[in-house]
Amino acid sequence: MLKIYKYFFYSLKCYNKVYQVLSYSYIKQVQISFVLCIVANFSWFCYGIKAMISFSTWSAKQFITEPKSVSIHSINNDKLL
C-alpha cells in the first residue's frame, strides 16, 4: 500500500513539473491567443449588435411604410371597381 502512495506521489510530482515547464514555455502564447480570442469575439459581438439594430430599424421602417402602401392600393382598387 505504501508503494502505491509513493508511486502516486511521484507521478503527481512529475505531472506538476511537466505542467510547470509547459506553463512557463507556453504561458505567453496562451495569453496572447486568449486575448486575441476575446478581441475577436467582442468585435463579432459588436458587429452582431450593429446588424441587429440595422435590421430592426429596417424592419420598423418597412412596417411603418407597409400599411400606407396597402391603403393606397386598396383605395386604387376601390376606384377601379
Domain extent at residue 31: 18-45
Question: So what's the pLDDT on residue 53?
Answer: 74
Here the cell at position 60 is 420598423
Q: Is the pLDDT of residue 69 over 60?
A: no
52: pLDDT strictly greater than 70: yes
- Is 51 domain-assigned? no
Average pLDDT over residues 18-31: 61
Residue 61 lies in a domain: no
Pairwise CA distance, residues 56 & 39, whole Å:
25
The domain tally of the chain equals 1
The answer to the question of residue 63 being in a domain is no
50 vs 63, residue with greater confidence: 50
Average pLDDT (51-59) is: 73
**Average of pLDDT values for 33-59?**
70
What is the rounded distance in angstroms from the CA atom of residue 60 to the CA atom of residue 69? Answer: 15
Does this model's pTM top 0.85?
Answer: no
